[in-house]
Amino acid sequence: MNEVDPATAAIERAMVAIRRSQTRRTLNRLPGAGPVIDPTVFAVLDAVAEADGEHTVGDIAATLHVDQPRASRLVARAVADGLLERHADQSDARRVRLRTTAAARTALQRARAVRQAAFGRATEAWPEADRVEFARLLTRFVADFRAVADDPAST
């Protein structure tokens, strides 16, 4: 096995810790959280919202890097929970478009506000320059990681 440099190992450990901290139980403990949507369903809602409120099941599968049957199950759950609505595509009757409901938009806004407040508290003692640099580097990392994950040659 190739030896990993210490910085890469530290990044991997931090990313695992972040993933573990995004459980429903942890998110429920944040002040103001209210009822928390299951993180897997939340990811579907987030994907639809990022696409200006409309997406197809195929789009969800591609965005979340899951297969079509898994995406269909997640969408069905969100529809059953009253968080997504299905609408016929006016340009192609075979396609179904998904839209977030008012309940989903409210839940997304609340979740973002709660997370942003928690992130703000976690970094409130940091100098502003550190916060700005962390935001820049984390955003860059996410984009670069997405490019690696989306590259079929990398797997």
Q: What is the pLDDT of residues 49-72, one digit of tens each?
A: 888 757 889 999 988 889 999 999
* Mean predicted confidence (pLDDT) in 12-18: 92
State in Å, rounded, how far the first CA of the chain is from the last one. Answer: 16
Give the per-residue pLDDT at 27. Answer: 67
Q: What is the pLDDT of residues 23-53, one digit of tens each?
A: 666 766 777 766 667 778 888 998 998 887 5
Q: pTM of the prediction?
A: 0.75
- DSSP-assigned states of every residue in 41-67: HHHHHHHHHHTTT-B-HHHHHHHHT--
What does the CA dihedral 78, 53, 18, 41 come to, rounded to 10 degrees? Answer: 0
Q: What is the pLDDT of residues 94-114, one digit of tens each?
A: 778 899 999 999 988 888 888
Could you give the domains of the chain? 6-124 (1.10.10.10)
Whole-angstrom CA distances from 18 to 12, 23, 92, 130 are: 10, 10, 40, 19
* Mean predicted confidence (pLDDT) in 116-131: 95
Give the per-residue pLDDT at 131. Answer: 97
* Mean predicted confidence (pLDDT) in 126-130: 98
